[in-house]
Structure 1
Amino acid sequence: MDHTSVIRFGILGNAAVYQKALRPAFERSAVAVLAAVGSSKASGAAHPLPTDGVPAITEYTGEGAYQAVIDDPNVDAVYIPLPNHLHKEWTLKAAAAGKHVLCEKPLGVTAADAYDMIRACQENVVHLMEAFMYRYNPQHHRARQIAASGEIGDLRLVRVGFSVPLPSPESNVRFQDYPGAGALHDVGSYGINVCRWMFGTEPTRAHALTANLPGTGADILHTISLEFPDGKMATISGGLGQAYRSFYELVGTTGRIEVERPFATPPFVESDGPLRLKVDTGESTREELFDDESQYDIQIEAFCSLINGHPEQAYSPEDSQRNMHVLDACAASAQSGATELVHGSEVGVLR
């Protein structure tokens, strides 16, 4: 596939992230086009959806809709926003059909899932990337650059908070009885990812406390402590069904950096102007401003570039597997009440 190829996508499911963010992003894209959508909640034959002047989108409905999208010869890649326990199944099916996969976070329910997904995509010579859209905002790269420069001294602590209100959590798909349900595998995965990214290495131990939604086995609230090499630490708090909060703080030996609204951007929250990165060096303070760009647009561009042989903006599925190793340790800790070792930390340093 040459570097000018426009990638034709199929979507498995009709999730809110597709309706609110992905479909508009595809309509704006110069490197991708939405070719097909599959929905299991309706029945009927495939038919074109109205598209306001952009190329027609084929909608597959009812039982077999997801497989029909995968089998569509006009689809090069699939985006999977399905519930977490379905990520592995449909990634393996897409890979077997020779389709590239952009899969919502977390990549799987466990690190073992992630390994199987990576192996299947490698064996079928297709690309796999986790859809962690937040990483495509320049404020994060700038925060990491400042921390690495020594301007706040030696980075010692990362503190993260991310919670999202849900009016009726008991009826939300995130709390249905399946593996990987709950807040830890949802908003918790963001906090784990950003801590690993900012430190540039892997945690060695994890301790997690969770509170479950009554009547379910899925957590609605969690706190996580991560231990990194050289005495560095991270604390993460989050949940679903609490007041909205989204931030992280990098604390060094002489200063700190505050990053506002790092994980949720329009259309899921209203933009209140430029994003602010606040830097306190211990001797002076300043704010740096960043456009509130659509991270979904940039993510699609990065994945299409990867498919077309330009991986510079992409991040590896092996990194996603390392994130799953930490999630595994947190889930084990929540069950055991003990601090758990993070397996897989020997894989290497996060770029």
Structure 2
Amino acid sequence: MTPAPTPTPAPAALRWGVLGATSYIATHLMPAIAGTPGCELTAVASRPGRTEQAATAGEPFGAAAHPDYASLLADPAVDAVYIALPNTDHVEWTVRALEAGKHVLVEKPMAMDEKGCARIEAAAEASSRTVMEAFMYRFHPQQARAAELLASGAIGELRVVRASFAFGIETGSGNIRLDPALGGGATWDVGCYAIDVPLFFFGQAPADVSARFSRRPGLGVDTSAVATMDFGRGRSAVVDYSIDYGPRAWYELQGTHGTITVRNAWAMSGEDGVITVLTADGIREETVPAANHYQLQVAHFAEAVRTGASALRVPLADSRRTARVGEALVASAAAGGTAVACGGDESTAPR
């Protein structure tokens, strides 16, 4: 009689901790982690003096509250951390988490300059841990569908990418996006997404960029921007982003024979995606069913950690490129809109 095969044991769950217990993270990221098969949310930490807030956020998921960030990183019951801190803290705490032996999924921007990304890359290599920037919009199926349509030749050769992301934030609201000391401003918030769209679809950094910023009276941060990017060979991008007005969340891929428009590029998890294709043959519209792209992002990252896969959907090279372009936009705006070189690089456009 042939013995029954020995069952393969299920892989141990990836145990997560979260640094930063904001209401947004508690509403979107924590449920995504807890709801992903093979993942557990085990710990949450807020800044010192706000342990009660961390406890309240973690309670629905059975997650322990830590009194500070360092305490969570020292917890042996945490394998991976999601970093949702102010922009100025991303590099420091990502490096510290990697040095503590944790895998890291860090909010965008990973860093506000390319040098910060390089520090993180070195720490990841030294620790043999996985790190990825949390550009959740890339995981919504509508982005894959837009890339598929482009690759199919539906609109010919890509020539121009237009992207816009905006929502209003009131002066005096206390929102950290208005605080220059915490890396506030439109560029390093909504701008990250609008900037990433052309970099993603062209698959490379532009040769140079030009930008003009607006600043709301009394604030020390940029609150609106319009920028152009030159990708060479007749290819370009125009992006605008703002925390002065909105809502606006849209991008368009202009090809030699038509356009692909993604109407709600940064859809929330319960919203369908709508894609319009316009060519000389007419207009057709597709609906991409709603998806929890936060959860898809967590699942992708967890699988990469388990398998040791290096093919991350948001590789470190992309994060360095986004940071480099953001730096150049800031430099261009400071110089009155003068073109600033970004160097370009080899194309890794989606196929």
What is the CA deviation profile of residues 214-257 of structure 1, one whole-angstrom value per residue up to 9, with x for unaligned ones?
22321111111011021101000111131201000111111111
Q: Check conservation: 2:45, 2:54, Cα contact below 8 A.
A: no
After TM superposition, list the pairs within 5 Å mapping 1:130-279 onto structure 2: 130-168=133-171, 171-178=174-181, 180-266=183-269, 271=271, 274-279=272-277
Cα drift, residue 88 of structure 1: 0.6
8 Å CA contact 1:207–1:225 kept in 2: the answer is: yes
Contact 1:109 1:179 in 2 (8 A): no
Distance 1:167 1:104 in 2: 23
SS at match of 1:248: strand
Q: What CA distance in whole angstroms lies between the structure 2 residues aligned with 1:176 and 1:46?
A: 22
Are 1:316 and 2:350 matched, yes or no?
no
Contact persistence 1:14–1:37 (CA under 8 A): yes
The answer on 1:59 being equivalent to 2:65 is yes
Q: Compute the displacement of 1:193 (Å).
A: 0.9
CA distance in 1, matches of 2:269, 2:90: 25
- Equivalent residue for 1:29, pick from 21, 28, 36: 36
Give the SS at the match of 1:262: coil
Q: Distance in 2 between matches of 1:244 and 1:44?
A: 34
Q: Alpha carbons of 1:313 and 1:94: their partners in 2 closer, same or farther (altered >3 Å)?
A: closer
TM-score (norm 2): 0.90
Secondary structure of 1:308's partner? helix
Amino acid at match of 1:300: V
Aligned to 2:85, what secondary structure does the other structure show? Answer: coil
Secondary structure, counterpart of 1:235 in structure 2? strand
1:169 and 1:241 in contact (8 A); partners too: no
Identity rate of aligned residues, in percent? 32
- Indicate how the Cα distance of structure 1 residues 28 and 47 shifts in structure 2: closer, same or farther if over 3 A, else same: closer
Q: How far, CA to CA, are the matches of 1:45 and 1:158 in structure 2? A: 45
Q: CA deviation at 1:168?
A: 4.1
> In 2, distance between residues paired with 1:291 and 1:168?
36
Letter in 2 for 1:10: G
Range 138-147 or range 67-76, more displaced:
138-147
CA distance in 2, matches of 1:3, 1:18: 29
Post-superposition shift, 1:188? 0.8
* Aligned residues of 2:331 and 2:340 also touching (Cα < 8 A): yes
Q: 2:15 aligns with which of 8, 12, 19?
A: 8
Asked whether the 8 Å contact 1:143–1:277 carries over to 2, the reply is yes
Moved more, 304-313 or 189-198: 304-313
- 5+ residue gaps, structure 2, are 1-8
The answer as to whether partners of 1:104 and 1:132 remain within 8 angstroms in 2 is: yes
Identify unmatched segments of 5+ residues in structure 1: none
1:17 pairs with one of 17, 21, 24: 24
The answer on whether the counterparts of 2:204 and 2:345 sit within 8 Å (CA) in structure 1 is: no
3-state SS in 1 of match to 2:286: strand
Following the alignment from structure 2 to structure 1, what is the Cα–Cα distance between the partners of residues 43 and 122?
26
Across the aligned residues of Structure 1 and Structure 2, the Cα RMSD in angstroms comes to 2.2
Shift of 1:148: 2.2
- Describe the SS at the equivalent of 1:178: helix
Give me the whole-angstrom Cα distance separating, in 2, the residues matched to 1:346 and 1:314: 18
Query: Is residue 303 from structure 1 mapped to residue 310 from structure 2 by the alignment?
Result: no
Q: Secondary structure at the match of 2:81?
A: strand
State the alpha-carbon separation in 2 of the partners of residues 321 and 142 from structure 1.
25
Amino acid at match of 2:283: T
Residues 182 and 46 (structure 1 numbering): CA distance in 2 closer, same or farther, change over 3 Å? closer
Query: Shift of residue 71 of structure 1?
Result: 0.6
User: Match of 2:261, as an amino acid?
Assistant: E
**Does 2:132 correspond to 1:129?**
yes
Deviation for aligned residue 1:282: 1.6
Equivalent residues of 2:20, 2:83 under 8 A apart: yes
Q: Deviations over 1:136-173 (max 9, x none)?
A: 01111111121122221221111111101224465210
Q: Does structure 2 retain, via aligned residues, the 8 Å contact 1:152–1:282?
A: no
> What TM-score do the two structures reach when normalised by structure 1?
0.90
Give the conservation status (yes or no) of the 8 Å contact 2:204–2:346.
no
- Any conservation in 1 of the 2:274–2:288 contact (CA below 8 Å)? yes
Report the residue type matching 1:342 in the other structure: C
Provide the rounded CA distance (Å) in 1 between the counterparts of 2:266 and 2:274. Answer: 13
CA distance in 2, matches of 1:47, 1:296: 20
Distance across 2 between alignment mates of 1:330 and 1:213: 18
Say which SS state the counterpart of residue 223 (structure 2) adopts.
strand
Range 166-175 or range 250-259, more displaced: 166-175
Deviation larger for 16-25 or 184-193: 16-25
Contact 2:304/2:310 (8 A) holds in 1: yes
